[in-house]
Amino acid sequence: MKELKAKGACHCGAVEYLARGEVMMNGLCHCPNCTRSKGVSPAHLIALHGENSVEVTQGDELLQTRVLDKFHLVTCKMCHGPVMQYQEGMGFRVVFPVSLDLRRGDAGSDHGADRIPDEWKPQLHLNYENRLFDWDDGLPKFKVFPPDSPLKSDGTPLD
């Protein structure tokens, strides 16, 4: 399976980390934990296998974790920017492409543009039942998690 290796940072840059691991999912999530904690909808996230797939390389002492049920959101104390999130006991870590160095070629590609390279564009929508509005982008959509309950862009069942 595809591997990610990219440096990341919080909004102010005081916290830096290395995200490295096998990609479990690269998608746009519409669930409240992902969206309301950051004020975006949807949130572009990459889930990596392994509880050690995010290594904080600077600013460890600035990390704060907010726990809501089993959802853990790790942010920087200075800027409150997200570093990673995860579900307790699920064995993965979630990082956010917007905070990764993917667009500067640190993931091994030689693109020079500002945009995320095609290989890191989101592959699907999850928790699509929570969307604010419909997305006609041609990506597969799932009511909650893939592969169950695939939906059309208007939210009706695919089959």
Name the site residues for Zn ion (rule: CB under 5 A). 10, 12, 14, 29, 31, 34, 76, 78-79, 81
| Smallest separation, CB 33 to Zn ion (Å) | 5
Q: Of the two residues 53 and 99, which places its CB atom closer to Zn ion in the complex? A: 99
Please report which helix (H) or strand (E) contains residue 85, including its range. Answer: strand 82-87
CB of 85 to Zn ion, least distance (A): 8
Specify whether the CB–CB gap between 116 and 107 falls below 8 A. no
**Residues 126, 117: Cα–Cα separation, whole Å:** 21
CB 112 → Zn ion: shortest distance, Å? Answer: 27
Q: What are the E-state strand segments in the chain?
A: 3-9, 16-29, 43-49, 54-58, 63-68, 71-76, 82-87, 92-95, 124-126, 141-142, 150-151
> Based on CB atoms, which residue is closest to Zn ion, 65 or 115?
65
- Cβ proximity to Zn ion: between 71 and 116 the closer is 71
| Residue 58: CB minimum distance to Zn ion, A | 10
Token pair, residue 4, equals 């990610």
Q: Choose between 53 and 75: whose C-beta lies nearer to Zn ion.
A: 75
Nearest to Zn ion of 29, 74 (CB atom): 29
In whole angstroms, the minimum distance from the beta carbon of 155 to Zn ion comes to 17
Q: Report phi then psi at 6, rounded to 5.
A: -150, 145
Alpha carbon distance 141, 50 (integer Å) = 25
Q: How far is CA 29 from the centre of its chain?
A: 8
